[in-house]
Amino acid sequence: MPPTPETCVWFLRHGASTFNLQHRCQGCCDEPELTPQGREGARLSGERLDLEGIQAVVTSPLRRAGETAAELLNAIRAHDRAVAFETDTRLREIELYYWEGMPLEEIRRRFPEQYHDWRLRPETFRMRLTGTEVQFPVRNLYARVRSLWNDLLTTYAGKSILLVTHGGTIRALVTSALGLGPAHFHSFQQSNCGLSRLRFSPLSSQARLDLLNDTAHLGERLPKLKEGRQGTRLLLVPVDDPLPEAIERLGTALEGVAIDSLLVASPAARIVASQLFSSPVDSCAVVSELPPDTDVDRLLYQDSGGQLKQIAILGPPRILRCILRQQLRISGSAAKSLDLRPLEITFVHRPGSGAPPSLQAMNISKPSPALVGV
């Protein structure tokens, strides 16, 4: 009997919506619809996924997700493949009640304490609906997606499926699959039409995240900064036994990227760094090899002066996972579930000003025009 194949779950956030354009809170509000840019992003996402062997598409019932699914299904079904399609109400976005429809700036102004909890303590964030009814939106979302996971992994075992849903829902699905709870709701980023992927082995219940927030198919290459162009961005590059063609591809991806500091964590990483940064910018400082037990927070601390500083760190995957564990405050088992691919780039943004670090994207190997000249 042939072995049972792994289950592959793709995630796609809906395309840019009218509320995204207007900087308004969406939540479960069904008023927003796709913009022309959002429809184009959905079409490009379908082209990107056309050869990935998607066998089923499951979508949120909200209009912006349904419109995204309709656009991309045209591309996925272009070769007359049978692709199952269904809607699941558990894929709707987080419920934010009286915030929905409000401009984000108005929410920050009218509800400063609530907004502070939403950003920094999502596990305790609550909304009082009446004199006696209190809801915990993030906790509620995690309870909902845990129920969804139980059904999905049974129904689609051994298949490749695509979930078309929302940014908050994807973050809850990914973090819960990695064994993380509501406190990590903002630890991962998900852009409009950004693609992420989890793999589940039939021999283990442990998920592996091997792609996060890939927007290369949109021509962006790198997701936009959510917290503004400030703080520090880490570019983590795993180095094992590098092949020349892989180094060349990485060099193309890093071409024109402004690196303020460069750290290496192994002799092999030093060799790769010397090939990639043979003519570093004047401000680029090459630091001696990075010991595994380094206090990364202390090493990376620097005053950005209100500007964005970028630090490239090259080293073995185990050391980079330690850095991710420290930065994101995640468990060791969750860090092991991050399947870092050699000579591809993983981005962490440390915005400062009290905002927590976030994993922006993972395993990106395409050129990044959005970074050129930063």
Query: Rounded to an integer, what distance in angstroms lies between the CA atom of residue 247 and that of residue 233?
Result: 21
Element (DSSP H or E) covering residue 237: strand 231-238
In DSSP notation, 18-69 reads: HHHHHTB--TT-----B-HHHHHHHHHHHHHHTTTT--EEEE-SSHHHHHHH
Q: Which two tokens stand for residue 204?
A: 């283990």
Q: Which of 14, 166, 217, 349 is catalytic?
A: 14
Give the distance from CA 28 to its chain's centroid: 21
Query: Catalytic residue at 123?
Result: no
- Report the side by side order of strands in the sheet with 7-13: 84-87, 56-59, 160-165, 7-13, 195-200, 207-214, 358-364, 345-350, 231-238, 308-315, 261-264, 285-287
71, 93, 220, 344: which one is catalytic?
93
CA angle, corner 363, sides to 359 and 280, nearest 5?
Answer: 90
| DSSP summary character for residue 358 | E
Q: Which residues of 289-319 are buried (b: 16+ CB within 10 A; e: fewer)?
A: ebeeebebeeebeeebeeebbbbbbbbbbeb
* Phi, psi torsion values for 274, nearest 5 degrees: -65, -30
Known active-site residue 40 = no
What tokens were used for 161?
A: 């499926």
Q: What is the dihedral of CA 95, 99, 101, 106, to 10 degrees?
A: -150
Give dist(CA 188, CA 338) in Å, integer. 12
Instruction: Give Rg (Cα) of the chain.
Output: 21
Element holding 159 (H helix, E strand): none
User: Annotated active-site positions, please?
Assistant: 14, 93
